[in-house]
A and B are shown apart, each in its own frame.
Chain A
Amino acid sequence: MNDIQFQGEWLWAGTLGNGLIALAFASALFSVFAWYNAEKKTPEGWFSWQGAGKVSFWIHTLSVISIIGLILFLLFNHRFEYHYVWQHSNKSMQMKYILSCLWEGQEGSFLLWMFWHVILGTIIMYSVKEWKAPVMFIVALVQVFLVSMIVGVVLEFPTFDYKIGSNPFILLREHETMRNMPFVQIPDYLSKIDGRGLNPLLQNYWMTIHPPTLFLGFASTVVPFAFAIAGLWRRQFTEWIKPALPWTFFGVMILGLGILMGGAWAYEALSFGGFWAWDPVENASLVPWLTLVAGAHLMLVFRNKGTSLLWAFILIILSFVLILYSTFLTRSGVLGESSVHAFTDLGMSGQLLFYLLFFAWLPVVIFTYNTKLRNNYLLITACLFILTLIFGFNAYITIGYLAFALFSIFLLVVNYKAYFPQNEKEDGFSSREFWMFMGALVLLLSAFQISVETSLPAFGKAFGEVPGLQKLFPSNITSSSEAIEIYNAWQIPFAVLIALLMAVGQFFRYRETDMKEWLKNMAVSLLVSAAVTAACMLFTDMFRRPFYFLLLFTTVFAITANLDYLARFVKFKWRLAAPSVAHVGFALIMLGSLVSAGHKKIISQNAFEAINLEALNADFRNNENILLQKGDTVPMGEYLISYRSDSVSGLNVYTVIDYFHKNENGSLEKAFTLNPILQTNPQFGNVAEPSTRHFWNKDIYTHLTYIDPEKVNKLLAGSDSSNEEKTDEFREIMHYEIADGDTMYTTNCFIVYMGLKSLSEIDTTKAAENTRLDLQGKFLIGDVKGNFYEVKPGLAIVDNAYQTFPAMNEETGVKVEMLSINPEARKVEVSIQQKVEAQSNDFIIMKAIVFPGINLLWLGSILMVIGSGMAVAARVKRKPSA
């Protein structure tokens, strides 16, 4: 078929890689089977299913690690015959970014996720005792699904083909997008090509540390989930909580850290204009974290008081399912036109949806203890699945799934009534567990709101054709353009409630609290925070909106109350300090967001307000970006800034912007210099990289919004743009008929007509046919920098004919010519021309934002991660065996 003999290809690597994938898949599958039997059967003789499970999971672990090692090896050797290597690396790339290349693509990120699962699985095999078999069963099952994402096998059905997964070892010349390219028909194409390379935007240390942390966070949610499912499976509804607790807090810590790192990355290195943008990709990891935090707290409630068990189950299971949901949302392409950086569709949306539905469905199956009922449920599931395969997704199938979901919930309720330990005790209002439960509910609602708003485009796709539901979710529905306002409108009140609960929570005792004593204990922090709030209101002009004020008060209250608790009740014993530290951290994060994002100020307004020719609309004022001509010094905020020069280093164009302060003598003093960068990139598109000046109490964050492409090209070509020749071209010849005081505009100046005067004495006695009348106009030219110039063009009327004497202003290049006069209407006709400025493109447009108090946010992030880590450590130490 293909008789070209390609030279120099390492085909063995692909064969080995595919073999390893097959082995990883088979061993995971066998491991599922083995751990299932280990749970169900008692060991007989020499053979133990436990042992088989361990061996197969080890084989799986080694194959996953080998796959990763093999891809790294191929990346390292620039084996561009492999599409993945070609797509994500090139020869000129620095080797320290090789890991970033590995997980830049979807296949690699799935591998990273699998990697953490096998690490966690291995730790579980050797640390967890009683719960090992069922927990490993779930972990191995999850791995089966994940490996399937990189299998890349095409299943042929009678009516359609379905490709399972996307294989990282596919050859470049066999990849569907490259197959017909002429260059891959050349036998020695390998010696001629270079890889597409890693997007330079991702060539930084954030890309090296953020994805591993986030994926470890994702991976860690599987452990509490597996414990919860195991609890359902064994009908030991309560015993799983204790061994699962440290794992849950580990997930809280790492997932939280991953999310915060994402925010820090966006703030430090990307020009999104802030720390958090409520982007779907960000939301997708925040939502499961919120439910995981809620679940972890309810697990604590159960450990201490024996209530809230049902909701602990729901939230822990939900957290993992939401991780899968977020994977589906961000990788299937359903968000398509509404997200900035969702992955594009690799044709795996069906598979991802199946993965999600399977693990949402599994708890229902396991919880249905009645064999007959379960068999019927399985039968219904099978029918629905087969119907989906035959018809694909359409309105009726969707209705079928909705009915199925309702039926599943009904089953859960029935089973709950029949089997679940019912707790008739009511939590009293003065008990700690009651308020922890309320906190969990607020977190759940918060997660729900974020989820719904983010999912709107997906809902439109799912329900847009379904009768009845299409009214609610029409197919063209998408997240609001004002989504950020909507998120804030909900999440700020939620944050107020959470902060309040964090403040008072620990001062309640489990079971019952003496309210008088409680009030007495709260009094100190209440007074302190009231004083701090009052001071903030008096001495700053911030927090003027009611909810901002409330959030200020409640977060300060949460901080002081937790510090107070730490000092007076915990007495700084580290084992008991975790909640206080984590709560202070989280309150600081909320306070820091309130101060920095709620009161950020765009200071890059053009000094000279809107010479707007079209005067279109108030929406188009020059109020967010500032124009800087090279060499000019213009005021911006409290500074005078000057665009001094630019330089090129590799792909980056650095601009040098000096910031000056006026000192007491009124002279300028240089305060600092910032270098906002334009990273040029013909392949992936140019991007601006911000430059930020950090102060203890605020940041000045700047990034370029526009540079003339020609200027960039010149800079890259190495020529100095300032050596350009002066041109004598004029542009924008405009004619006006104007009266005294009228104003005209050119692109960067305005011109005011100040009036006309006669130079010659008009002698009425002379004969009319031999007259000469000399007139002189006065025009005031104002430029963008606020300078004014006067020009005086002349006009002579000789024998009823006009003679013009145009006047030119050198500084602005504006030439004014009076053409005629209309004495009755007291108007003159003028023509305005302007010289094309020689260095007209030697400018930049920049945006500058002041973020006050952002260090509160960073400090809070660190404390929260430390606090969650302390919670893990305290609980690991407390349990010698589990």
Chain B
Amino acid sequence: MKKSYIFLIAILASAVGIIYWSVSNAGSFASFEEAKKSEGKEFQVAGVLNKDKEMVYDPAVNTDLFTFYMVDKEGNEQKVLYKGSKPQDFEKSEEVVIHGKMEGEVFLAHKILMKCPSKYNDTGSEFKEVSMN
């Protein structure tokens, strides 16, 4: 009988440990505004690509650098440097989620998720992961 109580306590302790670890390492969604306030801290920002501003991808210079401007859900615009090649059909993206951090004036992203529209409606749109890090 005693042994089973020990197991129970061990399991519960591990479960609490797992939850604690997960939560303390969890990511969080933020706006660029919030990301700027905690410069250098990792965030995930959702928003849309600003298609009017220039996107720069010059693989002859650097195959792993792509620059674009993004507008978050609160309407703040931000220059983003993405470590990686320009995603296929990035111009067609409907929604973009980037993972990364602010550094000075730019947001350094290491992961992009993009949602592409299906032709006629938005119920069929799907997220596409662009990079695996």
Contact = CB atoms under 8 A, between A and B. Distances in A.
Interface of A: 87, 177-178, 181, 196, 272-274, 277, 279, 337-342, 344, 346, 424, 426-427, 441, 444-445, 448-449, 452-453, 456, 472-474, 476-484, 486, 490, 606, 610-613, 616-617, 619-627, 678, 683-688, 705-706, 747-748, 784, 840, 843, 845
B61 A747 contact: yes
A449 B61 contact: no
25 contacts: A274-B132, A279-B129, A337-B113, A340-B128, A344-B123, A346-B123, A426-B3, A445-B14, A448-B14, A452-B18, A478-B26, A480-B22, A480-B26, A480-B27, A481-B110, A486-B22, A611-B62, A612-B61, A620-B81, A625-B59, A678-B88, A685-B88, A685-B92, A705-B84, A747-B58
Given A272-B129, A476-B28, A619-B83, A706 B46 contact: no
Contact of A477 (B3, B23, B59): B23
Contact of B22 (A181, A456, A484): A456
A845 B23 contact: no
A456 B24 CA distance: 11
A453 B46 CA distance: 20
Contact of A341 (B46, B62, B111, B126): B126
A479 B113 contact: no
B83 A685 contact: no
Interface in B37-71: 42, 44, 46, 57-65
Nearest to A610: B62
A441 B83 CA distance: 41
Contacts of A272: 129, 132
Nearest to B88: A686
Contacts of A342: 127
A685 B128 contact: yes
B64 A337 contact: no
B76 interface: no
A811 to B, nearest CB: 15
Contacts of A687: 88
Contacts of B123: 177, 344, 346
Nearest to A424: B1
A683 B89 CA distance: 11
A441 B7 contact: yes
B27 to A, nearest CB: 5
A620 B64 contact: yes
Contact of B26 (A274, A479, A843): A479
Given A625-B63, A684-B118, A845 B85 contact: yes
A688 B131 CA distance: 12
A91 to B, nearest CB: 16
B116 A685 contact: yes
A222 B95 CA distance: 38
Given A178-B120, A620-B83, A845 B18 contact: no
A610 B1 CA distance: 65
Contacts of B133: 481-482, 484
Nearest to A181: B120
A869 to B, nearest CB: 32
A340 B129 contact: yes
A476 B42 CA distance: 13
A478 B27 contact: yes
A766 to B, nearest CB: 48
A478 B28 contact: yes
B25 A705 contact: no
Nearest to A843: B59
B116 to A, nearest CB: 4
A344 B60 contact: no
B132 A277 contact: yes
SS class, residues of chain A in contact with chain B? loop
Contact of A706 (B19, B23, B59): B59
B29 A337 contact: yes
A409 to B, nearest CB: 12
Nearest to A346: B123
Given A274-B132, A344-B123, A686 B15 contact: no
Interface in B1-40: 1, 3-4, 7, 11, 14-15, 18-19, 21-23, 25-30
Contacts of A683: 118-119
B121 A178 contact: yes
Contact of A452 (B22, B58, B110, B122): B22
B78 interface: no
B27 A344 contact: no
A476 B35 CA distance: 13
Contacts of B110: 481, 619
Given A456-B22, A478-B26, A486-B21, A620 B62 contact: yes
B74 interface: no
A627 B59 contact: yes
B111 A481 contact: yes
Contact of A479 (B27, B64, B119): B27
Given A445-B11, A476-B30, A613 B120 contact: no
Contacts of A845: 59, 63, 85
Interface in B80-133: 81, 83-86, 88-89, 92, 95, 97, 99-100, 103, 108, 110-111, 113, 116, 118-129, 132-133
A787 B20 CA distance: 55
A243 B42 CA distance: 52
Given A476-B30, A784-B60, A624 B84 contact: yes
B132 A613 contact: no
A73 B81 CA distance: 50
Contacts of B59: 625, 627, 706, 843, 845
A619 B62 CA distance: 12
Of A272, A277, A340, chain B has the most CB atoms within 10 Å of the CB of A340
Given A340-B127, A441-B7, A685-B89, 8 more contacts: A445-B15, A477-B26, A613-B61, A617-B108, A683-B118, A706-B63, A747-B60, A748-B60
B61 A444 contact: no
B103 A617 contact: yes
Contacts of B22: 449, 452-453, 456, 480, 486
Contacts of B89: 685-686
Contacts of A339: 127
Contacts of A476: 28-30
Contacts of B97: 337-338
Given A477-B28, A627-B59, A684-B118, A344 B64 contact: no
Contact of B18 (A337, A481, A490, A606): A490
A686 B119 CA distance: 14
Of B26, B27, B127, B129, chain A has the most CB atoms within 10 Å of the CB of B26
Contacts of A621: 64
A557 B52 CA distance: 60
A688 B18 CA distance: 37
**Top 9 A-B residue pairs of the complex, sorted by shortest distance between their CB atoms:** A177-B121, A340-B129, A625-B63, A705-B85, A481-B99, A748-B60, A706-B85, A476-B29, A686-B88
Contacts of B26: 456, 477-480
Given A478-B26, A480-B27, A490-B18, A337 B88 contact: no
A426 B25 CA distance: 39
B81 A344 contact: no
Given A480-B26, A706-B57, A341 B127 contact: yes
Contacts of B3: 426-427
A793 to B, nearest CB: 23
Contacts of A617: 81, 103, 108
B44 A481 contact: yes
A554 B10 CA distance: 23
A46 to B, nearest CB: 52
A196 B26 CA distance: 39
Contacts of A473: 23
Contacts of A441: 7, 11
B88 A606 contact: no
